[in-house]
Amino acid sequence: MNKIKNMLPAISLTFGLIVLDRVTKLLADSFLAGKGSIHLIGNFFILLYAQNRGAFLSMGDEMSQPLWVLFFLIIPILAVVIFSVFVFKTKQNSSYYRFIWTLLTSGAVGNLIDRFFYGKVTDFMNMGFGTTLRTGIFNLADVYIVILVFFIVINELKNKKKLSDKR
């Protein structure tokens, strides 16, 4: 019972992040589709509507349907379920793992909803400098995953530094 109580804030935040992702995608569908680009911070931050069947930078967009289902539906669902069981059932129910779980679940479920119901993901944000140094077009679920990756990398670098300082 204590583990579930510890997870309630993470579950609530995850639900909120998924709702925020869905709302922004619905707004993009309503107000950006077919409208071209909207420059919010000069050329640095642009709202630009796109839908893609693949992942980051449309990777996997041309996959056959069986492979697409495997890589974009089954594997992400399994990853969320397996990591959820790990976090809920093991002694690793720390704030670190709850934070990772929140970002992983929010990002994965946000894009899984699009893929499951529409067969593609709605993206609508682009950032960069000029025309050559730019991100792909992305959504909030993607942002959650990027934050997750940065968080894990920074944490691992800090842990390696601690280990080297002890030697």
Residues designated as active site: 123, 142
Task: Assess contact for 111 and 103: CB atoms under 8 A.
Answer: no
Q: What is the dihedral of CA 108, 109, 115, 120, to 10 degrees?
A: -60
Q: β-strand 133-134 against 45-52: which pairing, if any?
A: unpaired
Residue 115: which of 61, 160, 163 has the closest Cα?
Answer: 61
Scan for tokens 């583990």, then name that residue.
3
Residue 139: which of 30, 39, 20 has the closest Cα?
Answer: 20
Structure-token pair, residue 21 = 């992702």
Query: Measured between alpha carbons, how far is 74 from 89 in angstroms, rounded to an integer?
Result: 22
